[in-house]
Homo-oligomer: A and B are copies of this chain.
Amino acid sequence: MGMNPTVKDIAAKLNLSTSTVSRALTDHPDVKKETKRLVLKLARELDYQPNPIALSLKKNRTYILGVIIPETSISFFSKAISGIQEVASKAGYQVMICSSHDSVDIERQNVQTLLNSRVDGLIISVSRETQDVNHLARILDKRLPTVFFDRICEELQSTQVVADNFAITFRATEHLITTGRKRIAYIAGPQNLYNSRKRLEGYKAALQKYKLPIDDDLIIASHYEGENVKTYTDYLFNLNRQIDAIFAINDRTAIEMIHLIKQRQVKVPEDIAVVGFNNERFSAFFDPPLSSIDHPAFEMGKTATELLLQHIADDQFPIQKKVIKSDLIIRESSFKS
């Protein structure tokens, strides 16, 4: 059978006590060299591996990090997961991932599940629905090391890793304005999300800097899914406001919009400039190549994990708020030289 060998097995075969075997395996000085040799040899033969569960029970540490995100298959989060895993595995930690599917109820369950699993720390990006944060406050009450990233809760006193949402949206809007655009539609994300709020603020601030009016009709409170992209597009055209640019909350929306715009015989970027968000890999090959904001998903995952590990290693590690810089990538969809 595939039973894993234990110190007891080794001890029995060598007529030793488990204590001696255990000491030999940890290279304790109280064991004769010859005995150590015998033990190590047999351990190798049996492919002995100490049972991590027994160690967890004893040390009250699992070497598992919990991760709660809205959806594993969203590209931003899957990249963040890569970053998390890279740092975690190098430090000898495993990662346990739960998706909330953007539901607070499931998020609550996830919290419970991971607390039960006795993870050593948590990395969280909250669901779109999350308003009440009691279940998250409970984690902090338990003093479980926790880092929020990307979709954070401003009201919680905890370490956070965010992108420079305001600055980058400001910059992208400024890019559109300085290349001659005046009526820039903005497809916003849900406004209960920190990210979406900051980004919208950046957009508005840029308009104000250049003394352009803020027209609420041009701001669409989208949801991330994009099922309604056609509705938004129709709405914007029916406004008859001579829109000359669109800033969309993500590349998928931007690309679907360009598709719909082209169907109306309107040209991108000549008539309407388009900027997306996330810089998906395919965006560079779109027609026209899509200008987009490179959201540093992998980097954020890495940073969040590094901070979490420091929290785990040191109780007194101070709460931090790290900002990871995004990058504006200008392609032909917004500017043709």
| Contact A94 B73, beta carbon cutoff 8 Å | no
User: What residues of B have a CB within 8 angstroms of the CB of A95 in the complex?
Assistant: 96-97
Partner of A94, one of B85, B96, B141, B262: B96
- Nearest CB of B to A6, in Å: 11
Show 30 residue pairs from A and B whose CB-CB distance is below 8 angstroms, ordered by the A residue. Answer: A2-B142, A51-B57, A52-B117, A52-B118, A53-B53, A53-B118, A57-B57, A64-B96, A71-B82, A72-B81, A73-B79, A73-B81, A73-B82, A78-B78, A81-B97, A82-B99, A85-B97, A85-B99, A89-B113, A94-B96, A96-B96, A97-B97, A252-B282, A255-B282, A256-B285, A258-B285, A259-B285, A282-B282, A286-B286, A287-B287
A1: which B residues are within 8 A, CB to CB? 143
A79 to B78, CA, bound (A): 10
A75: interface (CB < 8 Å): yes
Taking the closest CB of chain B, its distance from the CB of A59, in whole angstroms, is 10
A285 — which chain B residues lie within 8 A by C-beta? 252, 255-256, 258-259
**With A57-B54, A255-B285, A287-B287 as contacts: A113 and B94 at CB distance below 8 Å:** yes
- A147 to nearest B CB, angstroms? 16
For A252, give its contact among B78, B81, B99, B281 (CB under 8 Å).
Answer: B281
Query: In the complex, which residues of chain B have a beta carbon less than 8 angstroms from the beta carbon of A127?
Result: none
Contact residues in B for A115 (Cβ distance below 8 Å): 49
Copies in the complex: 2
Within 8 Å by CB of A56, from B53, B78, B258, lies B53
A62 at the interface (CB under 8 A from B): yes
Report the count of interface residues on A (CB-CB < 8 A).
Answer: 50
Q: Return A182 CB to nearest CB of chain B, in Å.
A: 27
Q: Report the Cα distance A281→B117, complex, angstroms.
A: 35
Closest to A82 in B: B73
Given A251-B282, A281-B252, answer yes or no on A85-B56 (Cβ-Cβ < 8 Å): no
Interface positions, chain A 68-101, Cβ under 8 Å from B, are: 71-73, 75, 78-79, 81-82, 85, 89, 94-99
Residue of B nearest to A298 (CB): B73
Q: Is A26 an interface residue (CB 8 A)?
A: no
A115 to B117 CA separation, bound complex (whole angstroms) = 18
- Cα A118 to Cα B56 with chains together (Å): 12
| A231 CB–B CB distance under 8 Å | no
Do B116 and A49 have beta carbons less than 8 Å apart? yes
A131 contacts chain B at the CB level, 8 A cutoff:
no
Question: Assuming A53-B118, A89-B113, A255-B285, what are 12 further A-B pairs, CB within 8 angstroms?
Answer: A1-B143, A53-B53, A53-B57, A54-B57, A57-B57, A71-B82, A72-B72, A72-B85, A94-B117, A95-B96, A97-B97, A286-B287
Task: State how many angstroms separate the Cβ of A279 from the closest Cβ of chain B.
Answer: 13
Q: How far is the CA of A141 from the CA of B47 in the complex (A)?
A: 13
B75 touches A73 (CB 8 A): yes
Q: How far is the CA of A307 from the CA of B176 in the complex (A)?
A: 53
CB of A167 closer than 8 Å to a CB of B: no
Within 8 A of B (CB), among A244-284: 251-252, 255-256, 258-259, 262, 280-282
